[in-house]
Amino acid sequence: MAKTARTKYLIIGNSAGGVGAAEAIRAVDKAGTVTIVSDEPYPAYSRPLISEHLAEGCSLERMLFRPADFCERHGIKTLLGQKVASLSLDEHIARVETGQEIGWEKLLLATGGKPIVPRMEGLESKGVFTFTTLADAKAIAQAITPSSRAVVIGGGLIGVSVTEALVKRGVGVTIVEMKDRILNTILDEEASALAAEALSEHGVEIITGHTVSKVNSRPAKGGSVSSVTLENGRKLPCNLVVVAIGVVPRLDLVAGSDVRTNRGVIVDRHMATSCRDVYACGDVAEAYDFIAGENRVTPVWPNAYLGGRVAGFNMAGAPAEYQGGTAMNSLKYFGLAIVSAGVTNPPDGSYEVVSNIYGSSCRKIWVKDGFIRGMLYSGEIEPAGIVFSLMRDMVNVDSFKERLVAADLGLSSLPEALWRSRLSLPPSVPVTTIPVEEPEEVLVGE
């Protein structure tokens, strides 16, 4: 029988959520053993940067999410390139593919998502990829030739991100999006059109309202990709296919266990699962969404980090609550600057849209019952955080909502009590020193 190693905290997944948890644990427990296992062979890297790696060979060193000595400095043990094959939740044991067993006191599932790959003829052909890991980016980079032409299936954030990287590498790209517009889950119609225009200007062909039904290769079975066939019979010649339809929570480790799942692992406001001593965060989890008012999968980096942080504190015995996250995105591809959060495609007519378009900027909020439920700022995005914080903190904005989309939006657009509480010296805090010094000497001309 394999020898069982022991650790106080076991974290499965070495990314946003896992690192967030490890940092929180170390903030309160400097001594308890922390072990992170990841089936990726690299130290924690910024996943969104894989497009930068594909585009311009951004080095692993530059992609690292934390300094290279992070784990050493914090006394964190890592098992990289090793997959946890199964869990015994009752016995508090994880079995690694190598045969090693790890006994744990507190477990965090930070296993993230896995790419959705639909059943489709020809997917085994050479030249078909997904795009969620550094290994994917490396594989695509290797497959690119000067005459490459790519079809990207899916016009969401990941599809647009791989498209930009391919375009930067000189590869012609066609995006095939099933719905009637790209980025349809994170942008409203107008902003989608703006994004589509920016892509087109960079030579990207966008086909909406259609799906790929078949990947063709030469030779027919197991050869290299030669084209894809759409559901209407149209053929698009290409030698690269990237499947970028989205990700789903990676639930395999808890399938059939006592851990309650829906679309993702269901967690409470402490990021605890239905199973004692087992926590979850990030893309694998279904955590509180303050806009939906219920648990939802919101697969974005900041929510993974924050959820991990809350999980870590609780695992280490320092109670912490997850304020909740929501869908939030920031788009910088193809020279765009668009940020959005919450509901940008209202399900019914009960949302009031307050908007303002000026110059090449657009500011929009969706208000319901006096509260901001969604926001989208493009162009001059700088003041967007003011609005995001009002939305997250559930501030009733009915009396000043018009000001939140004005071109001169600032903290002074808020009611006085709000900006005063943010900017003034808090009256209750003791002031120890206010050094008054002579202004610095300044040279004025020569």
Partner 1 sequence: MKRVYVNEPACIGCRLCEVHCQFAHSSSKDLVKAFKKAAPPLPRLRVEVKKPVSFSVRCQHCDEPACVYACLTGALTKDEKTGVVSVDTEKCMGCWTCILVCPYAAITRDGDKISKCDLCTGKPLPSCVANCPNEALVYAETRES
Ligand X SMILES: Cc1cc2nc3c(=O)[nH]c(=O)nc-3n(C[C@H](O)[C@H](O)[C@H](O)COP(=O)(O)OP(=O)(O)OC[C@H]3O[C@@H](n4cnc5c(N)ncnc54)[C@H](O)[C@@H]3O)c2cc1C
Q: Which chain residues interact with ligand X by CB under 6 A?
A: 12-18, 37-40, 47-48, 50-51, 83-84, 110-113, 131-132, 157-158, 161, 250, 253, 282-283, 299-302, 304
* Cα separation, 195 vs 337, whole angstroms: 10
CA distance 347 to 368: 12
Q: Which helix (H) or strand (E) holds 303?
A: helix 301-315
Q: Check residue 328 for interaction with partner 1 (CB under 8 A).
A: yes
CB of 34 to ligand X, least distance (A): 15
CA–CA distance, 363 with 263 (Å, rounded to integer): 33
Q: Is 271 in the site for partner 1 (CB under 8 A)?
A: no
User: Among residues 386, 397, 404, 405, which is the contact residue for partner 1, using CB under 8 A?
Assistant: 386
312 binds, among partner 1, ligand X, none (CB under 5 to 8 A by kind): none
Q: Please say whether the beta carbons of 411 and 384 come within 8 A.
A: no
Q: Residue 192: helix, strand or coil by DSSP?
A: helix
Angle, CA 436 vertex, CA 432 and CA 442 arms, to 5°: 145
User: Which range of residues in 3-11, 76-84, 364-372, 379-387 is near partner 1 by CB under 8 A?
Assistant: 379-387
Residue given tokens 């980079």 in the structure block? 141
- Judged by beta carbon distances under 5 to 8 A according to partner kind, the member of ligand X, partner 1, none in contact with residue 319 is none
Q: Which of 305, 313, 322, 366 binds partner 1 (CB under 8 A)?
A: 305
When the beta carbons of 7 and 161 are compared against ligand X, the nearer one is 161
The CA distance from 424 to 307, in Å, is 30
- Which one of partner 1, ligand X, none is in contact with 253 (Cβ closer than 5 to 8 A by kind)? ligand X
- Considering the complex, what minimum distance in angstroms separates the CB of residue 300 from ligand X? 3
For the CB of residue 331, give the shortest distance to ligand X in the complex, in Å. Answer: 8
Shortest distance, CB of residue 388 to partner 1, whole angstroms?
6
For the stretch 301-304, contacts whose Cβ atoms lie closer than 8 Å and that sit 24 or more positions apart, written own/partner, are 301/16, 301/47, 301/48, 302/16, 302/328, 303/328, 304/15, 304/16, 304/17, 304/20, 304/110, 304/112
212 three-state secondary structure = strand
Amino acid at 114: K
Residues of the shown chain interacting with partner 1 in the complex, contacts defined by CB under 8 A: 20, 46, 48-49, 52, 62-66, 301-302, 305-306, 309, 328, 330, 332, 337, 339, 341, 381-386, 388-389, 408, 410-413, 416, 419-420, 422-426, 429-437, 439-440, 442-446
